[in-house]
Amino acid sequence: MMEQDILQPKQVSAGKAHEEFRNYESSSRQEIVERHYRLMRTNQTLAYVQRMHEKYNACEHDEMTIREAFRKLESYIDSSDPDSDSPNLEHMMQTAERIRADGHPDWFQLTGLLHDMGKICFLWGNKEDGQEGTADGDQWALGGDTWAVGCRIPDEVVFPEFNQLNPDMKDPKLSSALGIYETGCGLDNVLFAYGHDEYMYRMLKANNTSLPDEALAMIRYHSCYPWHQGGAYEALMTPRDHEMKKWVLLFNQYDLYTKSDAKPDVEALWPYYQSLIDKYLPGKLRW
């Protein structure tokens, strides 16, 4: 399959109408989701994100295979998601299976399976860090839409009315358009609100996996809706970032619109995905 064919947008089927997804105004989970984002916007400062990088980037907390890590996530439910209250493992398998059904490369399929796996850092988190692994616990540093820290929080975020709660927005430097960054510095050099995306991206880099850069971009940026949907951070981007954005947008179709009540048979499907794991990130990994 040629790259230009891979990047052709597809109308991914969903368990409901596309316009019903990402309802942040009147979903059945409104109170849970709104509380999540209020806490996230209040606490995700530049200093906090830097502290999380110091805590996690060395990947010194455990050694596990991907299968072992998945078992730790079997009961995890995301408090930031208005579309689903199903365990994340089911959503990740749904995403991977639809990517597979559309004939995308095996590394793309595996990315679908792995993309939310960074939520496993709840194992080493706590309430103060916003990393409780329970459905009713604080998860504001595990899931949710992300944004760049160290510069002004854009109005393109969900619940922009919460932006004023962030202490950094009272700092003239950190609340300016470029903040601590320079024009064209590249998103590789930008810090984002900390969560499962950033953790999993850094973990895969630390383990020197053979997944391509496109896969790593999908994992790091798939929750940064202000960027890939809202058009924010254009001034910071390089030509490479523009190319990676095409892949993130393609992945987003599968991440969002494959959520449904139909439960995948994880055990039956696992041998196929284990073969992909053995190819790209075999054995025990550092977490």
Nearest 10 degrees: CA dihedral of 223, 89, 83, 49? Answer: -30
Has 188 been labeled as part of a binding site?
Answer: no
- Flag whether 18 is marked binding: no
Cα separation of 217 and 60, whole Å?
Answer: 23
Residue 196 counted as an annotated binding residue: yes
Is 35 marked as binding a ligand? no
How many CB atoms within 10 Å of residue 208? 8
Q: Which residues of 226-265 are buried (b: 16+ CB within 10 A; e: fewer)?
A: bbbebebbeebbeeebeebbbbbbbbbbbbbbbbbeeebe
Note whether 92 and 74 are within 8 A (CB).
Answer: no
> Binding residue per annotation — 223?
yes
The response to whether 144 counts as a known ligand-binding position is: yes
Q: Is 79 annotated as a binding-site member?
A: yes
Tally of residues, the chain: 287
Eight-state DSSP code of residue 153? P
Q: Any known ligand binding at 228? A: no
28 among the known binding-site residues?
no
Residue 26 is labelled as binding a ligand: no
Q: Quick one: DSSP state of residue 15?
A: S
- Binding positions for substrate: 22, 78-80, 119, 144-145, 222-223
- Binding positions: 22, 78-80, 91, 115-116, 119, 144-145, 196, 222-223, 255
- Binding positions for Fe cation: 91, 115-116, 196, 222, 255
